[in-house]
Amino acid sequence: MNLKKTLMAGAAGAALFAFAAPVATTAEAGSIKNGNATDLKVYGQVNRNMMFYNDGEESGYRHQDGDNGSTRFGLAATGKVNESVSVGAKIEVEMQSNDSPNISQSSETDSNSTGFKQRKAELYFSHKQFGKLTLGQQSQISDGMSDGLDLGYAAGAFAGMDSSLLVSGMLFRNDNTAGALSSTNIRSVFKTLDGGRQDAIQYQTPSMNGFRAQLGLEDSGVWGLGALYDGKMGGLQIRGRAFYENRSGNSTTADQWQIGASVKHDSGISLTGLYGSSDQDSGDDHKVYAATVGYTANMNSLGATGIGVTFQGTSDLAGDGIDGEAFGFGVNQQIKAAGTNIYGNVMFWDVDGTTVPLDSLMTFLVGAQVKF
């Protein structure tokens, strides 16, 4: 397979340029020293929110962890071989009390939220001219392609372009006389095609005029390609994200792709949109789409303030003929001196095409994220 040969050649090349290069004689100063030549940094965040809901029959509230920016900490080690070559490693875990997929009208607490969960265990070789090779448990090519897309500061209130991450377990209620809770939750209808983390080998090119390319190979022959752009043209800041993944080796999804772009004017106005399609072995292809209009400004002495409105939708994701549409308003306030964001949003969720009609669902949440 040409892809596998390319990755093997990249791995061999990375090893050759790492060991053939002259070894640096001095180590850079770092955050923590333990007797080794590498620098070690500790980082993390705590993200909590309080969510209120109305499902057409009842109202209530829940305490949650911020799923897309979960409570976590990690260790990042970096070492310098010479002026061109560096190596590094990262270990990252999360600890989520009341993870949103497990919180609903019928579940106020998450019995599965005990202990730590592995997020990343990766190492890399990086060359200024030849790019970066990463091996281990790491982000998939598609990970972060939507929640890291929006240039507006309000993105922090919407989990980027995938707001269902914040309230994913909440259930829709049947729109009939009985009014019972259905088995359909928000996340089963609403999502983008972003992936998560897997054991893989990945290569990323150096930035060339703002463009970067990614190539990754996971278990079972699953592979992906990514394209990223970050640049400035006149008064416009521009970001583009796109990926293609062939997942036929381990799922009922043959392949999938997604493309998105965000532009932000110097005035603070931003516009972001994405569209994606997932080819299924049977049934209709899954379609996802979203758009956000935002405004970012320094409205006070604390830091940037972002406000925005978003629209997010899917077709056939929860089943053939089932469509979802959601819209909402959000605010995100930076407290720059304390590494903190305070955010909130109100979202309205609607589903059509189910056998039993479903009531609309409203969610409102306020939360804070403290980074260190």
Q: Report how far residue 172's alpha carbon sits from residue 58's, in angstroms, rounded to the nearest whole number.
A: 11
Q: Report how far residue 371's alpha carbon sits from residue 340's, in angstroms, rounded to the nearest whole number.
A: 6
Q: Report how far residue 191's alpha carbon sits from residue 290's, in angstroms, rounded to the nearest whole number.
A: 10
CATH of the domain spanning 2-371? 2.40.160.10
Q: Report how far residue 123's alpha carbon sits from residue 117's, in angstroms, rounded to the nearest whole number.
A: 19
pLDDT in tens, the chain (372 residues): 444 444 344 444 443 333 333 333 333 434 676 667 889 999 999 999 999 999 999 999 999 998 878 999 999 999 999 999 999 999 999 999 999 999 999 999 887 767 889 999 999 999 999 999 999 999 999 999 999 999 999 999 999 999 999 999 999 999 998 999 999 999 999 999 999 999 999 999 999 999 999 999 999 999 999 999 999 999 999 999 999 999 988 877 889 999 999 999 999 999 999 999 999 988 899 999 999 999 999 999 999 999 999 999 999 999 999 999 999 999 999 999 999 999 999 999 999 999 999 999 999 999 999 999
Q: Over 325-346, what HEC string results?
A: EEEEEEEEEEEHHHCEEEEEEE
The pLDDT of residue 252 is: 79
Q: Report how far residue 50's alpha carbon sits from residue 345's, in angstroms, rounded to the nearest whole number.
A: 11
Residues 222/171, Cβ–Cβ less than 8 Å: no
Residues 123/144, Cβ–Cβ less than 8 Å: no
Q: Report how far residue 98's alpha carbon sits from residue 65's, in angstroms, rounded to the nearest whole number.
A: 6
| Encoded tokens for 365 | 């949440």
The residues with which 249 forms a beta bridge, in sequence order, are: none
The pLDDT of residue 180 is: 96
**Phi, psi at 20, each rounded to 5°:** -80, -20
The pLDDT of residue 99 is: 93
Q: Report how far residue 289's alpha carbon sits from residue 193's, in angstroms, rounded to the nearest whole number.
A: 10
The pLDDT of residue 35 is: 67
**Dihedral over alpha carbons 269, 192, 51, 327 (to 10 degrees):** 50
The pLDDT of residue 1 is: 44
Q: Report how far residue 56's alpha carbon sits from residue 171's, in angstroms, rounded to the nearest whole number.
A: 11
pTM assigned to the model: 0.88
Residue extents of the structural domains in the chain: 2-371
| Encoded tokens for 357 | 């009609």
The pLDDT of residue 66 is: 87
